[in-house]
Amino acid sequence: MDLRLSGKTAVVTGGSKGIGLEIVRLLLAEGVAVVSGSRTITPELKETGAHAVTVDLSTPDGPKRLIDEAAALLGGIDILVNNVGVGDAESLVEGATNTLLTLPDSAWESAFDLHFYSALRATRAALPSLIERRGVVVNVSSIGARLVGGGPVNYNVSKVALNALTKITAEQFGSQGVRAITVSPGPVSTGVWVDDDGYIAKVARSEGISHQQFQENALNGMGVSTGRVSTPVEVAQLVVFAAAPNNITGVDYLIDGGVVKTA
C-alpha cells in the first residue's frame, strides 16, 4: 500500500529507541526525510541514516532548537511526531507509589515538562511550516489519559493535557490545512515493560514479586483482550498511517490490545 509519503519531511522527538526508533525506521522506509531529537543518540538511531540532534526536549528552548535545525536542514516540515516520553523510570515509580498528599510538585513539573510542554513548544515552533505545507502533528499519548487513576498519576495527567492539545491544534488550524491526531498505546514491549531496570521491573521489586509475575498480574488486571502487549513496530505502523495524507483529524487512536472497554 502506497501511503503517499515519499518526498515528505518529518521531525520525530524521542527517536533514539523504542516506539520512536521504529517510527523513524518506518518513515524512512516510506521515503520520508527524517530529523530525530533526543537526549542521546543510540547506535541504532545512527544506523537508520536519519539526521539525529542531541537535545533535551524537557527544557524551555530545546523543542524550538530542534525544530529550527530541522527546518533549516529539510527546507520545511510536513510531519511532526511528538513521541518523546517516559524519561527516568524512577520518576514513573514515584508517580505510581505516591498519592496526591506525598507526590511533590517537582514530580508533576518534570512530567509536564517532558510529556506536555515539549509537545506544545515543538508544535508551536513547527506550525508556520506545517501551515505552509498543510502538514500533520501526531502526538503519542497513552491509555493512561483514559485510565488516570491507574498510575503513574503525574504521567497520566500530563497525557490528558497532551490529548487536549491535539484537539486544540486540530480545531484552531484545521481550516489552514493542518491535521492533528493522537495515538494512545497501552502496554508496549519497550524497555519500560521488559528491561530489568525498567519501570515495570522496579515496581515489581517494590512489591516484592518477580518481574514476570508482575507482568502477568498487570495483563490480567488490565483485561487485555488479546492477552499480549503491543510491539513498538505495531504502534509505529499506526503513527505512520495517521501521518499519511488523509482527512482524519482531532481523534485519539487506541492501540492497547483491548484494555479500554468503553466506546
Same domain flag for 225 and 235: no
CATH number for the domain spanning 31: value is: 3.40.50.720
Q: Which residue has the cell 484494555?
A: 259
Rounded Cα distance between 114 and 190, Å, is: 18
Same domain flag for 92 and 200: no
Cβ partners under 8 Å of residue 211, min gap 6 = 196, 200, 201, 204, 205
Mean pLDDT score of the chain, rounded to an integer? 93
Same domain flag for 196 and 251: no
Same domain flag for 138 and 153: yes
More confident residue, 196 or 238: 238
Answer for the pair 231, 189: CB distance below 8 angstroms, yes or no: yes
The long-range contacts involving 97-106, CB below 8 angstroms and separated by at least 24 positions, are: 97/151, 97/203, 97/206, 98/153, 100/153, 103/153, 103/154
Residue 96 counted as domain residue: yes
The count of structural domains within the chain is: 2
**Going edge to edge, which strands form the sheet with 252-255?**
51-54, 33-38, 9-13, 79-82, 136-140, 179-185, 252-255
Same domain flag for 74 and 93: yes
- 3-state SS assignment for residue 181: strand
**CA Rg value for the chain:** 18
β-bridge mates for residue 180, sequence order: 137
Tell me what pLDDT residue 89 has.
Answer: 67
Same domain flag for 16 and 79: yes
Residue 161 counted as domain residue: yes
Residue 142 pLDDT greater than 70, yes or no: yes
Tell me what pLDDT residue 210 has.
Answer: 86
Q: Which secondary-structure segment (H or E) carries 206?
A: helix 199-206
Same domain flag for 92 and 218: no
Residue 216 counted as domain residue: yes
Same domain flag for 175 and 78: yes
Answer for the pair 254, 186: CB distance below 8 angstroms, yes or no: yes
Same domain flag for 91 and 193: no
Model pTM score: 0.95
Residue 154 counted as domain residue: yes
Residue 260 counted as domain residue: no
Answer for the pair 7, 74: CB distance below 8 angstroms, yes or no: no
More confident residue, 178 or 212: 178
Burial class (CB in 10 A: 0-12, 13-18, 19+), 60: exposed
Tell me what pLDDT residue 117 has.
Answer: 98
Residue 262 counted as domain residue: no
Which residues span the domain enclosing 242?
Answer: 9-186+231-255
Cβ atoms within 10 Å, residue 128: 13
Same domain flag for 115 and 194: no
Residue 254 pLDDT greater than 80, yes or no: yes
Residue 196 counted as domain residue: yes
More confident residue, 31 or 97: 31
Residue 180 counted as domain residue: yes
Picking from 89, 194, 70, 42, the residue whose alpha carbon sits closest to that of residue 129 is 70
Picking from 102, 136, 140, 125, the residue whose alpha carbon sits closest to that of residue 20 is 140
Name the phi and psi angles at 203, rounded to 5: -65, -40
Name the phi and psi angles at 252, rounded to 5: -120, 110
* Cell of residue 101, nine digits: 498528599
pLDDT bracket for residue 147 (50, 70, 90): very high
Mean pLDDT over 205-220 rounds to: 82
Same domain flag for 46 and 138: yes
Picking from 6, 101, 90, 17, the residue whose alpha carbon sits closest to that of residue 52 is 17
Same domain flag for 98 and 80: yes
